Amino acid sequence: MRKYFKIIALAFLLSQSVAAQVTVHVLNPWRNDTCAGHRDSMLVQGFNNGNGVFNSSWANRPMTPEGGNWFYFVYASRTNSFALVTYCGPATWQGWVSYKNGYNFNIDSLLMRFPTGTNELWITIGDSTQPPQFYDKPLTSKVIYIFNPWPNNSSQISIDNRPPMKMQARTDICGWYTCYYVGPVDSLYNVYFTDYFHTRNIFLPDW
């Protein structure tokens, strides 16, 4: 009985931690910049609980590229604010630029625009001079589904050797997880699925 209780408790804690996470996707506003550093990397600067007070421990957190000039960052909760920055040089302070039109995005405020339970934000930016547009789904993408093979766990996906990214549980189809992929189709040849703890993998060699 105790063993089953531990399994149920672990599943509950896991579902709670996954639900609390928010994945923020951003279309790089410097994607057409002449500096490759601006085009190929993005960073987030963090703020403490959305009150605008800079938290130095959150300085220069790298975002993960996901193809098609998109980058993402996973936050542990929605009570965070952030700014988008990038740099052009071997050190993060060289050629430093920040996106002024969306300085200090507040995740909680942005999520209020969308249905309850939304835990992904897609921020589309024309270029560094234009204001941002916010969506709960990308305007154009490919959709990948998997029937979760881990009943007490959740599915994540890795595409083109990038770090695994969490997938979203479908509330309308029991057991299915999905993700939106905004990168090029030719990157889909190298795909694998993994569990939340990255201990069990499913490879698709003939994808």
> What's the pLDDT at 2?
47
Q: How many domains does the chain have?
A: 2
125 plus 91 within the same structural domain: yes
Instruction: Provide the domain limits for residue 56.
Output: 18-135
How far are the Cα atoms of 22, 77, 169 from residue 117, in angstroms, in the given order? Answer: 10, 13, 11
Q: pLDDT value at position 58?
A: 56
What gap in Å lies between CA 203 and CA 44, rounded to an integer?
31
pTM more than 0.85: no
Task: Name the DSSP letter for residue 39.
Answer: H
Q: Are residues 36 and 78 in the same domain?
A: yes
Buried-state track 150-160, b at ≥16 Cβ within 10 A, e below 16: eeebbbbbbbb
129 and 110 in one domain?
yes
- Whether the Cβ atoms of residue 181 and residue 165 lie closer than 8 Å to each other: no
131 assigned to some structural domain:
yes
Q: What share of the chain is helix, strand, coil (3-state, %, to 5)?
A: 20, 35, 45
The pairing of strands 120-125 and 22-27 is parallel
**Could you tell me if residue 189 is inside a domain?**
yes
Q: The domain that contains 63 carries what CATH number?
A: 2.60.40.10
Same domain? For 110 and 173 the reply is: no
* Residue 16: predicted pLDDT: 40
Same domain, 37 and 102: yes
Residue 193 sits in the same domain as residue 168: yes
As averages over each run of 10 residues, the pLDDT of the chain (207 residues) reads 40 45 93 88 72 54 89 87 85 80 84 91 93 92 90 87 85 89 82 88 69
Q: DSSP letter at 170? A: P
Q: Are residues 82 and 164 in the same domain?
A: no
What is the SS3 string spanning 87-154?
Answer: CCCCCCCCCCEECCCCCCEEHHHHHCCCCCCCCEEEEEECCCCCCEEEECCCCCCEEEEEECCCCCCC
In a domain, 122, yes or no: yes
- Do residue 30 and residue 120 come from a single domain? yes
- Residue that terminates a domain, selected from 135, 154, 178: 135
Last residue of a domain, one of 135, 169, 186: 135
Same domain, 117 and 146: no
| 29 and 97, same domain (yes or no) | yes
Q: What pLDDT sits at residue 206?
A: 53
Domain boundary among 86, 102, 135: 135
- The answer to whether residue 9 sits within a structural domain is no
Place of tokens 């960052």: 73
